[in-house]
């Protein structure tokens, strides 16, 4: 069956890609001069101690043996431990990953809603001044460097609405005694709003363009003409007849843009000092904390690969005709 | 881009004799209003960049005013945190930004074009291997990979150009491969093969001239992407700190606390320059590509049509249009 064939093929590709990413992760980081032991900064470490440590970490073995150890550790969920606080990397990255996940979800929600609304609107009013204006606006947002838009947000928008511009919650929250669940999360939501909005706006331009051209395609179909001839209301034609059919490319392309969402999140988190995975990456670079950098890179890559895989499956689900 | 704005692609371009194709490129550039504006913008900024040493009113290495001095007749766009004239800095910054943009785009085009031509022309096992490699590069998220590369291999300008090129060659490779694959089956290529033309001759005499316009269009789009990437790298503190670029100016404004000194000129201007040039490149590249590659208008699968900026945002799922 062609369908099963397709799924098997995509699964195999996803697994192979993850393997390549894992290997790349090993090769890239071994290419740097120095290793965990030479970069250890302790005054009283003797040579014997360093040798013993090298032996323990397997650094005196051949590259292939090290690769084997690395794969073995990875299979046990061990990404090494951070140079700066000596915690396991996975443990260090867990909270940032959750924080980022929330922020990114909110941002994607913003962009999808905005993008679909404005894209549908533009396609319905195609050729008019509204359409042109809409196109120019979304193109402009689309051409803005993410970090710059974030800075503009801090500079202009934050003051108007009195929103916080840094961190994940007010620093003294909970210091003077426990706070209720509701206070905590409304506070966090406030902090999340601007980063998410920035991310959302950057993506919104792109989604508008996607939705608009997908809609233009379906609006030209015969069944739209039929719907119109039946005397259906405009909004019904647009929302139930055209948009539903246009959803196929929209959904998959949005799922595919996960890679750029991840990239955008890193920049946004840097601007807003939001303690997510991107912020962890920046800190790791500053501290030359390679295990954390390596772990974060691996996690991000794998999540993008997995989301691409899901996009593939989704595509198949929505349009079972695809077989390649 | 808007469909209404792009004229119907004139006669089969692919078969047109050499001279006509050149005039065709000219037609695209000067035939459309947006493309004309875009071209003028690019030429203008290029001229500014070239002439910067002669026309910049102040030195960018010496302090000529108070830190964050506001706009005045002497300093048209105010000063930055080091008391350096912003207007002159923007002129000098254009140099590095454009050099990085163009150089990285050209390198990416050479790699991508080369892989695409070889893969499409020879087919078979070569094709499979090269496309697999391309697939892997396509899935790995760009910004994290850029961070890792930059963190590991140093902050030299040349490194940054190479990093950007290595990350972004894949979409060109896919595009060119598809084009070459269909070219190879065309009658004129088959005829000259029957007449005993060697592969080299076929590639350089018949295939390459046909894909060159598309390559050029793709390069223009790539310039936009590379300039984006440059600002990201600079912002994350991984750029070359000695080379003044727009990305570095944005980063300086952020690090230098321009936001808290209310020095809007230091924040807004560099980002605006980036946005304008990227917008111009996107519009010009897209107009050229739309007109030169009618195939991109065909189906849902042509990601390019939906996303204007080809890769960093819309990474097509590998294998999706292998059948082209």
B5 has a pLDDT exceeding 70: no
Residue ranges of chain A whose pLDDT lies below 50 = none
* A277-286 and A258-272 helices, crossing angle to 10°: 60
Q: Residues 255..314 of B with a Cβ closer than 8 Å to A: which?
A: 259, 264, 267-268, 270-271, 274-276, 278-279, 282-283, 300, 303, 305-309, 312-314
pLDDT the model gives residue A7: 84
CA dist., res. A163 & res. A166, Å (int): 9
Q: Is residue A240 part of a domain?
A: yes
Which residue segment(s) compose the domain that A157 sits in?
2-11+91-323
Q: Convert the pLDDT of each residue in B120-155 to its tens digit.
A: 888 888 888 888 888 888 778 888 888 888 877 777
Comparing CB atoms, the residue among B267, B308, B314 nearest residue A151 is: B267
| Interchain contact, A140 vs B279, CB within 8 Å | yes
At residue B210, does pLDDT exceed 80? yes
Residue A283 domain-assigned?
yes
- Whether B22 maps to a domain, the answer reads no
What is the per-residue pLDDT for B309?
Answer: 32
Q: How many domains does chain B have?
A: 1
Inter-chain contacts counted by CB atoms under 8 A, chains A and B: 187
In a domain, residue B236? The reply is yes
Answer with the residue of higher pLDDT: B31 or B239.
B239
Residue B47 confidence (pLDDT) above 80:
yes
Decide if B237 touches A, using CB distance below 8 A.
yes
Partners of B140 on chain A (C-beta within 8 Å) are: 21, 24, 301, 304
Residue A69 resides in a domain: no
Please report whether residue B48 resides in a domain: yes
Residue B113 confidence (pLDDT): 92
Neighbours of B113 (CB within 10 A): 24
Query: Where does the pLDDT of residue B13 fall: very low under 50, low under 70, confident under 90, or very high at 90 and above?
Result: very low
Residue B324 has pLDDT above 50, yes or no: no
pLDDT digits (tens, 9 = 90+) for B256-282: 877 777 788 888 899 999 999 998 988
B151 touches chain A (CB under 8 A): yes
SS3 per residue for chain B? CCCCCCCCCCCCHHHCCHHHHHHHHHHHHHHCHHHHHHHHHHHHHHHHHHHHHHHCCCCCCCCCCCCCCCCCCCCCCCECCCCCEHHHHHHHHHHHHHHHHHHHHHHHHHHHHHHHHHHHHHCHHHHHHHHHHHHHHHHCCHHHHHHHHHHHHCCCHHHHHHHHHHHHCHHHHHHHHHHHHHHHCCHHHHHHHHCCCCHHHHHHHHHHHHHHHHHHHHHHHHHHHHHHHHHHHHHCCCCCCCCCCHHHHHHHHHHCCCCCCCCHHHHHHHHHHHHHHHHHHHHHHHHHHHHHCHHHHCCCCCHHHHCCCCCCCCCCCCCCCCCC
- Could you read off the pLDDT of B155-195 as tens digits, one per residue? 788 888 888 888 888 888 988 888 888 888 888 888 888 88
Give yes or no for B136 touching A (CB within 8 A).
yes
- B251: nearest Cα among A140, A154, A279, A148: A148
Q: What is the pLDDT of residue B31?
A: 60
Specify if B180 maps to a domain. yes
Please indicate, yes or no, if residue B324 is contained in any of the structural domains: no
Report residue B7's pLDDT band, with 50, 70 and 90 as the boundaries. low
Inter-chain contact A282–B237, Cβ cutoff 8 Å? yes
Which of B139, B250, B300 comes nearest A248 by C-beta?
A: B300
- Residue in B closest to A16 by C-alpha: B136
The confidence score (pLDDT) of residue B114 equals: 92
Q: Which chain A residue's Cα is nearest to B324?
A: A324
Report the number of distinct structural domains present in chain A: 1
Q: Is residue B234 part of a domain?
A: yes
CATH code of residue A163: 1.10.3720.10
Assigned domain for A68 exists: no
Query: Could you tell me if residue A42 is inside a domain?
Result: no
pLDDT at A41: 62
The mean of the pLDDT values for chain B is 77
> Which of B68, B148, B232, B286 should we substitute to test contact with A (largest number of A Cβ atoms within 10 Å)?
B148
For residue B11, pLDDT beyond 70: no
Chain A interface mutation, best of B258, B313, B314, B324, highest count of A Cβ atoms under 10 Å: B313
Give, in order, the Cα–Cα distances in Å from B12 to each of A74, B214, B293. 54, 14, 10
Number of other residues whose CB lies within 10 A of the CB of residue B315: 27
pLDDT band at B302 (very low <50, low <70, confident <90, very high): very low
Verify whether the Cβ–Cβ distance B282 to A282 is below 8 Å.
no
A interface mutation test: which of B136, B139, B248 has the most A CBs within 10 A?
B139
- Domain around B120: 30-67+74-296
CATH of the domain at B163: 1.10.3720.10
- Give the pLDDT score at B256: 81
Within a domain: residue A32?
no
Asked whether residue B231 is assigned to any structural domain, the reply reads: yes
Least CA distance to B134: which residue of chain A?
A: A17
Residue B161, domain member (yes or no): yes
Q: Is the pLDDT of residue B299 over 50?
A: no
pLDDT for res A249 = 76
For an interface test with A, the pick among B306, B312, B319, B321 (most A C-beta atoms closer than 10 Å) comes out as B306
Stated pTM of the model: 0.81
């Amino acid at each position: 069956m062609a369908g099963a064939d397709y799924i098997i093929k995509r699964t195999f590709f996803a697994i192979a890609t993850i393997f390549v990413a894992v290997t790349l992760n090993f090769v890239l980081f071994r290419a740097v001069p120095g290793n965990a032991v030479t970069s250890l900064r302790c005054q009283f470490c003797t040579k014997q101690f360093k040798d013993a440590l090298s032996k323990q970490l397997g650094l005196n073995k051949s590259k292939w043996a090290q690769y084997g150890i690395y794969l073995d550790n990875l299979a046990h969920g061990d990404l090494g431990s951070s140079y700066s606080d000596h915690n396991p990397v996975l443990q260090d990255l867990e909270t940032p990953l959750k924080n980022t996940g929330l922020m990114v979800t909110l941002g994607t929600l913003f962009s999808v809603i905005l993008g679909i609304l404005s894209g549908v609107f533009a396609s319905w009013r195609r050729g008019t001044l509204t359409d042109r204006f809409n196109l120019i606006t979304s193109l402009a947002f689309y051409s803005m460097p993410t970090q710059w838009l974030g800075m503009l947000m801090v500079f202009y928008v934050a003051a108007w609405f009195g929103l916080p511009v840094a961190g994940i919650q007010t620093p003294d929250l909970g210091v003077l005694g426990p706070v209720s669940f509701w206070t905590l999360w409304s506070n966090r939501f406030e902090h999340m709003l601007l980063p998410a909005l920035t991310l959302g706006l950057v993506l919104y331009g792109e989604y508008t363009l996607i939705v608009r051209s997908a809609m233009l395609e379906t609006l030209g179909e015969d069944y739209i003409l039929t719907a119109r001839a039946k005397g259906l209301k405009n909004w019904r034609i647009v929302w139930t007849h055209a948009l539903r059919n246009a959803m196929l490319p929209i959904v998959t392309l949005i799922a595919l843009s996960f890679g750029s969402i991840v990239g955008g999140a890193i920049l946004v988190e840097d601007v807003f000092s939001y303690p997510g995975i991107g912020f962890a990456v920046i800190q790791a670079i500053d501290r030359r904390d390679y295990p954390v950098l390596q772990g974060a890179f691996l996690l991000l890559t794998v999540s993008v690969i997995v989301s691409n895989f899901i996009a593939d499956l989704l595509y198949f689900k929505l349009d079972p005709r695809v077989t390649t | 881009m808007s469909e209404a704005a792009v004229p119907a692609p004139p006669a089969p371009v692919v078969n047109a004799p050499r001279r006509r194709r050149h005039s065709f490129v000219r037609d695209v550039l000067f035939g459309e209003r947006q493309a004309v504006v875009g071209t003028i913008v690019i030429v203008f900024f290029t001229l500014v960049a070239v002439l910067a040493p002669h026309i910049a009113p102040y030195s960018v290495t010496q302090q000529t005013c108070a830190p964050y001095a506001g706009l005045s007749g002497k300093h048209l766009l105010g000063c930055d945190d080091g008391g350096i004239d912003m207007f002159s800095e923007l002129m000098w910054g254009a140099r590095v930004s454009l050099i990085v943009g163009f150089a990285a785009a050209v390198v990416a085009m050479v790699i991508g074009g080369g892989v695409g031509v070889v893969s499409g022309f020879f087919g078979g096992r070569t094709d499979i291997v090269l496309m697999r490699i391309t697939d892997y590069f396509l899935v790995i998220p760009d910004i994290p990979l850029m961070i890792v590369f930059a963190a590991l291999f140093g902050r030299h300008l040349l490194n940054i150009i190479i990093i950007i090129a290595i990350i972004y060659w894949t979409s060109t490779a896919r595009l060119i491969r598809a084009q070459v694959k269909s070219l190879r089956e065309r009658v004129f290529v088959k005829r000259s093969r029957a007449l005993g033309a060697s592969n080299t001759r076929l590639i350089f005499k018949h295939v390459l001239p046909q894909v060159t316009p598309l390559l050029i269009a793709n390069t223009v789009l790539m310039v936009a992407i590379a300039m984006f990437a440059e600002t990201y790298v600079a912002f994350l503190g991984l750029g070359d700190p000695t080379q003044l670029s727009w990305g570095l100016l944005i980063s300086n404004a952020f690090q230098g606390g321009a936001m808290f000194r209310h020095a809007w000129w230091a924040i807004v201007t560099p980002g605006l320059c980036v946005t304008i040039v990227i917008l111009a490149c996107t519009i010009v590249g897209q107009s050229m590509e739309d007109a030169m590659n009618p195939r991109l208008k065909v189906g849902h699968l042509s990601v390019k049509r939906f996303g204007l900026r080809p890769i960093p945002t819309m990474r097509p799922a590998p294998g999706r249009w292998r059948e082209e």
